[in-house]
Amino acid sequence: MSLDSHIERVLWTPDQIATRVFDLAAQISADLSPFSEPPALVGVATGAFLFLADLARQIPLPVTVDFIRAESYGSGTQSNGSPTISFDLKLDVTGRHVVLVEDIVDTGTTIAHLIAHMESKGASSVSVCTFLDKPSRRKVDFQLLSKGKFYRGFECPDYFVVGYGMDFAERYRNLPYIGVLKPELYK
């Protein structure tokens, strides 16, 4: 059975994703090029791996790339509780302009925790670039300090989505589009 048959509908196609990534990269490049320190791109594993790969290749600055993993234990399609960092950065971000690259910001719990973590490591600024944003589900109203910016690819309706890095039970990350999983597959 093909992976595509698990998808109820496609929200963003590969072409739409590529166009949006191109625009986000241009915006980030323009905002960060005035700084003497090159930006540190920090992908939130695992979901941001494709987005980070696509974004990084469109930013013509001497960026560094690293990953961090935050885990919050919860069941099925929702995370709950406070996240813990289960895999930390290898690179030193002291004095760096960090861009946290995320697949999706939902309640905001994970990103709020990661922003605080980057600040505690002495980053000069912390920005967030999330491919999808579900503002209707926000519970934690995170703040970005001076110079930090919030970039998002698309506002996502309140569906559980998969693809372009995002999983359900570790599957579907390799779908080249973003789609809604058939509810019978996760309910």
Q: How far is CA 43 from CA 1, 21, 89, in A?
A: 32, 15, 10
> Helix 49-56 and helix 14-32: axis angle, to 10°?
60
Residue 102 contacts by C-beta under 8 Å, 6 or more apart in sequence? 44, 47, 48, 110, 111, 128, 129, 130, 131
Q: Which 124-183 residues touch ligand 5GP, going by CB under 6 A?
A: 160-162, 166-168
CB of 128 to ligand 5GP, least distance (A): 11
User: Total number of residues binding ligand 5GP (CB under 6 A)?
Assistant: 18
Could you tell me if 41 and 101 are in contact, meaning their C-beta atoms sit under 8 angstroms apart? yes
Residue 88 contacts by C-beta under 8 Å, 6 or more apart in sequence? 68
In this structure, is the dihedral angle defined by the CA atoms of residues 75, 79, 80 and 86, taken in order, positive or negative?
positive
- Examine residue 29 and tell whether it contacts ligand 5GP (CB under 6 A): no
> Rounded to 5 degrees, what are φ and ψ at 17?
-65, -45
- Examine residue 79 and tell whether it contacts ligand 5GP (CB under 6 A): yes
CB of 167 to ligand 5GP, least distance (A): 5
Does the annotation mark 106 as catalytic?
Answer: yes
19 upstream amide cis, omega within 30 of 0: no
Query: Which residue's CB is nearer to ligand 5GP, number 39 or number 179?
Result: 179
Q: Which 134-173 residues touch Mg ion, going by CB under 5 A?
A: 167
CB of 94 to ligand 5GP, least distance (A): 25
Per-residue interface string for the shown chain with Mg ion, residues 52-71, x marking contact by CB under 5 A: --------------------
- Examine residue 7 and tell whether it contacts ligand 5GP (CB under 6 A): no
Query: Which residue's CB is nearer to ligand 5GP, number 60 or number 76?
Result: 76
Of the residues 54, 103, 106, 133, which is catalytic? 106
- Examine residue 110 and tell whether it contacts ligand 5GP (CB under 6 A): yes
CA distance linking residue 39 with residue 17, whole number of Å: 23
Query: Which residue's CB is nearer to ligand 5GP, number 16 or number 79?
Result: 79
CA distance linking residue 100 with residue 146, whole number of Å: 15
Active site residues: 106
The site for Mg ion (CB under 5 A) is made up of: 44, 47, 103, 167
